[in-house]
Chain A
Amino acid sequence: MTIPLPVFVAVPLVTAFLLPLFGKKGKAAATVLANLATLLLLVSAITLIGQSRAYEMGKWSIPLGINLVLDGLSCLLLLAISVVSCAAMLFSVRYMERYTAKSKYLSLFMLMVAGMNGVVLSGDIFNLFVFLEIASLSSYALVGFGCEHEELEASFKYMVLGSIASSFVLFGVALVYGNTGSLNMAYISQAISRTGITTGLGFALGLFVTGFGLKAALVPFHAWLPDAHPSAPAPISAMLSGVLIKALGVYALCRMVFNVFGVTVPIGWVLMVLGLLSMVGGAFLALGQWDIKRLMAYSSISQIGYVVLGIGLGGLILANDGNVAWASLAILGGLFHLVNHAVYKSLLFLTSGSLEMSTGTRELKQMGGLAEKMPVTRTTATIASASIAGIPPFSGFWSKLILVIAAVQASFYWVAAVIVFVSLCTLIMYLKVQRYAFLGELPENLQEVKENKGTMAIAMVSLACLCVLMGLLLIPSLRESILEPAVTVLTDGMRYSTNIINM
Chain B
Amino acid sequence: MKGMTIIVKNISSFVKVLIFLFGIYIILFGHLTPGGGFAGGVIVASSYVLLMLAYGREFAEENLSLPTTSRLDCVGALLFAAIALFGLFYGATGFFWNFIHQKELWGQPLKLLSAGTIPLSNISIGIKVGSSLFLVILILSSFRLETSASEKE
Contacts and interface: CB of A to CB of B under 8 A. Distances in A.
Do these two chains really belong together in a complex? Answer: yes
Interface of A: 4, 6, 10, 13-14, 17-18, 20-21, 23, 55-59
Contacts of B73: 20
Interface in B64-118: 67, 70-71, 73-74, 77-78, 81, 84-85, 87-88, 93-98
A13 B81 contact: yes
Q: Identify the interface centre among B67, B84, B95: most chain A CB within 10 Å of its CB.
A: B95
Given A10-B81, A13-B81, A17-B81, A4 B88 contact: yes
19 contacts: A6-B95, A10-B81, A10-B84, A10-B85, A13-B77, A13-B81, A17-B77, A17-B78, A18-B78, A20-B71, A20-B73, A21-B71, A21-B74, A55-B94, A55-B95, A57-B95, A58-B87, A58-B94, A59-B97
A46 B99 CA distance: 31
A56 B81 CA distance: 17
A59 B96 CA distance: 8
B60 to A, nearest CB: 21
B96 A58 contact: yes
B74 A57 contact: no
Contacts of B77: 13, 17
Given A4-B88, A18-B78, 18 more contacts: A4-B95, A6-B88, A6-B95, A10-B84, A10-B95, A13-B77, A13-B81, A14-B78, A14-B81, A17-B77, A18-B74, A20-B73, A20-B74, A55-B94, A58-B87, A58-B94, A58-B97, A59-B93
A485 B26 CA distance: 48
Contacts of A59: 93-94, 97
Contacts of A10: 81, 84-85, 95
A56 B94 contact: yes
Contacts of A58: 87, 94-98
A59 B77 CA distance: 22
Nearest to A9: B95
Contacts of B94: 55-59
Nearest to A11: B81
Contacts of B87: 58
Nearest to A66: B96
A56 B96 CA distance: 10
A59 B78 CA distance: 22
A14 B81 CA distance: 7
B124 to A, nearest CB: 11
Contacts of B78: 14, 17-18
Contacts of B96: 57-58
A4 B78 CA distance: 19
B139 to A, nearest CB: 12
Contacts of B67: 23
Nearest to A107: B74
A441 B84 CA distance: 60
Contacts of A4: 88, 95
Q: Identify the interface centre among A14, A21, A58: most chain B CB within 10 Å of its CB.
A: A58
A20 B97 contact: no
Contacts of A21: 71, 74
A55 B94 CA distance: 9
Contacts of B93: 59
Contacts of A13: 77, 81
A18 to B, nearest CB: 7
Contacts of A18: 74, 78
Contacts of B98: 58
A20 B70 contact: yes
Nearest to B96: A58
A453 B60 CA distance: 47
Interface in B20-71: 67, 70-71
B91 to A, nearest CB: 10
B21 to A, nearest CB: 28
Contacts of B71: 20-21
B129 to A, nearest CB: 14
A59 B81 CA distance: 17
A501 B90 CA distance: 27
Contacts of B88: 4, 6
A58 B90 CA distance: 12
A23 B66 CA distance: 12
B95 A17 contact: no
Nearest to B78: A17
A107 to B, nearest CB: 9
A389 B71 CA distance: 49
Contacts of B97: 58-59
A157 B81 CA distance: 34
Given A57-B96, A59-B93, A17 B74 contact: yes
A502 to B, nearest CB: 19
Nearest to A59: B94
Interface string B118-148: 0000000000000000000000000000000
B123 to A, nearest CB: 16
A203 B151 CA distance: 46
A21 B95 CA distance: 25
B83 to A, nearest CB: 11
Nearest to B92: A4
Contacts of B85: 10
B7 to A, nearest CB: 39
A324 B131 CA distance: 55
Nearest to B85: A10
